[in-house]
Amino acid sequence: MRKILLAMDAQKVNSNALDFTCFMALLTKSKLTGVFLENLLEAEMREPAFYSSAYHEGSSNFRDNEKTEANIHFFHQACEKRGVSAHIHRKRGLPSDELIEESRFADLIIVDPETSFKKKIESTPTSFVKNILEKAECPVILSPENFEGVEEIVFAYNSGGSSMMAIKQFTYLFPEFHDKKITLLEVNKENEIGIRAKPKILEWLKTHYTDIHFKILNGDSSETLFKYLFEKKNLLLVMGAYGRGILSTLLKPSRATLIVRTSNFPIFIKHL
């Protein structure tokens, strides 16, 4: 992997997300691009003169610009202090559209799941982040609130192509995790047979990892997975396409905040 995007509201930089992203960039020797997203109303985009005329000292636009510049400076200093090669993309427009376009030319997006451009408080993940999960043209990692390292990689497997594609993409992007504990996790109903392709998957995993484990849980997919993950620490969860099956169920407002925040681990999601 060579190019990581850290997506940020230009007005609010999450230092925890930055710490995690710098760890990943150093681990993979990747360049880090800080994407500072500035939300302009459609009317302002259609009438640049309006935005320009409102941009004077003392105006809200002027103050916002000063804050963005301060955040960019903070980002540069934090990356330099950690020895991370980084540069800036400052994007003025509709944040999700701007980031989706950027994703076409990146290996990975990292984003705080609470990133929002709405004035009202949103559930986690926010509507902006859900849109990115659905439409990004590269994998996405939802950053944890606090990060203390990775001791275990959990591959959420559902016998489908999307989950195996996520496992492959993660493995190709992060060969540095080859010696970590790997758990292939499947959640089935009581009467279903687990991991039918186990010999084939094991053969593939052995070509990339050295410490492989299988775990089969019985019960409702989202509820059972939630209980299992809730007790875990220092793991990284890898899941398949957002918007279908277990992932979209898991990230419904009723469980999302607990999974993403309380369990406090990064989630790697491969959409396509």
Predicted local confidence at residue 246, as pLDDT: 52
**30/159 Cα distance (integer angstroms):** 32
| CA pseudo-torsion sign 5, 107, 135, 267 | negative
Predicted local confidence at residue 258, as pLDDT: 53
Return the CATH class of domain 152-269.
alpha beta
DSSP-derived letter for residue 62 is H
Express each pLDDT in 30-43 by its tens digit: 999 999 999 975 43
Domains in the chain: boundaries: 3-142, 152-269
**Domain at 3-142, CATH homologous superfamily:** HUPs (3.40.50.620)
* 50 φ/ψ sector (left φ>0, alpha ψ -120 to 50, else beta): alpha
pTM above 0.95, yes or no: no
- pLDDT in 10s for each residue of the chain, 272 residues: 899 999 999 999 999 999 999 999 999 999 999 999 999 754 354 445 545 555 555 556 667 889 999 999 999 999 999 999 999 999 989 999 999 999 999 999 999 999 999 888 888 788 899 899 889 999 999 999 889 999 999 998 877 778 889 999 999 999 999 999 999 988 776 655 566 678 889 999 999 999 999 998 887 666 777 788 877 889 999 988 654 555 555 555 544 445 555 567 999 998 65
Cβ(213)–Cβ(184) under 8 Å?
yes
Predicted local confidence at residue 41, as pLDDT: 58
> 209 phi and psi, to 5 degrees?
-130, 160
**188/217 Cα distance (integer angstroms):** 6
**170/167 Cα distance (integer angstroms):** 5
Predicted local confidence at residue 254, as pLDDT: 44
Exposed, middle or buried, 171 (CB in 10 Å: 0-12/13-18/19+)? buried
Express each pLDDT in 108-126 by its tens digit: 999 999 999 988 888 878 8
- The reply to whether domains 3-142 and 152-269 share a CATH topology is yes
Predicted local confidence at residue 50, as pLDDT: 47
**173/175 Cα distance (integer angstroms):** 6
Predicted local confidence at residue 241, as pLDDT: 67
Q: How far is CA 26 from CA 22, 23, 77, 170, in A?
A: 6, 5, 15, 17
| CA pseudo-torsion sign 34, 168, 153, 131 | positive
Predicted local confidence at residue 220, as pLDDT: 67
